[in-house]
Amino acid sequence: MESPHLEQLEHTFAQHYRTLRGAYLVRAPGRVNLIGDHVDYSGLSVLPMALQRHVAILYCERHDSTVRVVSTDPNYTLRSFDLGPSIEPYPEGDWGNYAKAAGQALAQRCGELRGFDAAVHSDIPVAAGLSSSSALVVAAALAVLHANDIEMEKLLLAELLTEAEHYVGTRGGGMDQAICLAARRGSASRIDFNPLRLTAHPIPPDWGFIVAFSLVRAEKSATGRETYNLRTRECRDALQRVTAALQLADRIDSYPALMAELPPADLVSRAEEALEGTLLRRFRHVVSEADRVHRAERALIDYDLKGFGRLMTESHESLRDDFAVSCPELDELVEITLRAGAAGARLTGAGLGGCVVTLVTERRANKVLKALAKRFYASREFEGRLEDQLFLAEPSAGASVAAL
């Protein structure tokens, strides 16, 4: 971790608590999904990588069950609660609920637990679709486990924390927790669900992924959440209608099982008979995106930059036209990067705001970064530095705990 961040953490810790003796540092990365959005909650594979940006927690264990957390960001003031199987939440939107979510889930599973005093620092842009909330839940969970000398298998913990995020009102498909915990440095990972499994693939040395924030914070807004939940229902309804029409309903109840029956193009043409309008478009996105993930994985293994880029751009078009989760700012970012010579670009994460991810050759990276700075950011106002909205992603390792 960059030392200015560590200094900030130590300073905040010292301001609120006692000595740092016996302190540990937990780091949980944000993520960018390279391809495969809005398919994980249908049980279909995705291909994200962890970022060099983290939630970091500096903590000292306590001898009772109290957890105290405070942030280096003065907007997030001290929170204090006791660990237990049924923790009363703070009001909706309170940052302390992310630590409570982890604490309650682990107390339900592991019984009585010791708490800790902690300072939190994050350099993952908040509500930008880079999974800063899941990183906070993961970091808090690792602090609880480590303070109690409990070892838990990463993927088991990822599944537990996917459920645990219900506590803050959202339940994603499980991609974020899995990549945050189990990512490998230098690689992207294909994540399969039911059972959860990660397969790491090295990112070719001359490929670069640029992350550009649209400056639209939608993921945690009421509309963002409603749209997300609506899409999960639409996907389920579409599946039921298609399996009923194909007379497969008695033995097929998931997208992966359906996709094992027929090739994607055939499924879409059969769906055209069973569905129309919105549900047909949602279904077409899910099935075509699942297919793109597998082709993109192949392209990654073959170092086929053009092929991978083309699939990313197709994915964006599908998320925009069939899944209706883009917005003008995301479309504009994609257009700017493609015009500047990127191999491909797409919105990443839940959409309706958040970030775009763009594939470039190392040689082209500066040109694309400059085009974005000039054509998108120069005319807009934003908080913080340009480097926080626009940066080259470094494929990073999953979460860790280390003695200070």
- Chain residues that interact with ligand GLA, rule: CB under 6 A: 37-38, 40-41, 172-176, 349-350
Count of alpha carbons within 13 Å of 66, Cβ hemisphere only?
9
As measured in angstroms, the least distance from the Cβ of 35 to ligand GLA is 10
Q: Which is nearer to ligand GLA, 174 or 208 (CB)?
A: 174
- Residue 29's SS3 state is strand
Q: Name, in order, each residue with C-beta under 8 angstroms of 379's C-beta and a sequence gap of 6 or more.
A: none
Q: How far apart are CA 344 and CA 337, in angstroms?
A: 8
Taking CB atoms, the residue at the shortest distance from ligand GLA is 172
Q: Which is nearer to ligand GLA, 171 or 375 (CB)?
A: 171
Backbone φ and ψ of 18, nearest 5°: -85, -145
Integer Rg of the chain from CA: 21
The neighbour count for residue 332, using CB atoms within 10 Å, is: 14
C-alpha pair distances (Å), 352 with each of 77, 158, 344: 29, 25, 19
Q: Which is nearer to ligand GLA, 41 or 209 (CB)?
A: 41
Q: Which is nearer to ligand GLA, 10 or 37 (CB)?
A: 37
As measured in angstroms, the least distance from the Cβ of 4 to ligand GLA is 29
Q: Which is nearer to ligand GLA, 173 or 309 (CB)?
A: 173
Q: How far apart are CA 310 and CA 300, in angstroms?
A: 12
- Residue 213's SS3 state is strand
Give CA angle at 381 (380, 385), nearest 5°: 110
As measured in angstroms, the least distance from the Cβ of 261 to ligand GLA is 24
Residue 82: active-site member: no
As measured in angstroms, the least distance from the Cβ of 159 to ligand GLA is 12
The neighbour count for residue 383, using CB atoms within 10 Å, is: 8
Amino acid code (one letter) for 70: V
As measured in angstroms, the least distance from the Cβ of 323 to ligand GLA is 10
- 347 and 326 in contact (C-beta within 8 Å)? yes
Q: Which is nearer to ligand GLA, 34 or 83 (CB)?
A: 34
Q: How far apart are CA 194 and CA 336, in angstroms?
A: 38
Q: How far apart are CA 106 and CA 141, in angstroms?
A: 7
One of 40, 117, 176, 322 is an active-site residue; which one? 176
Nearest to 327 by CA among 214, 166, 248, 251: 214
As measured in angstroms, the least distance from the Cβ of 206 to ligand GLA is 27
Residues labelled catalytic:
176
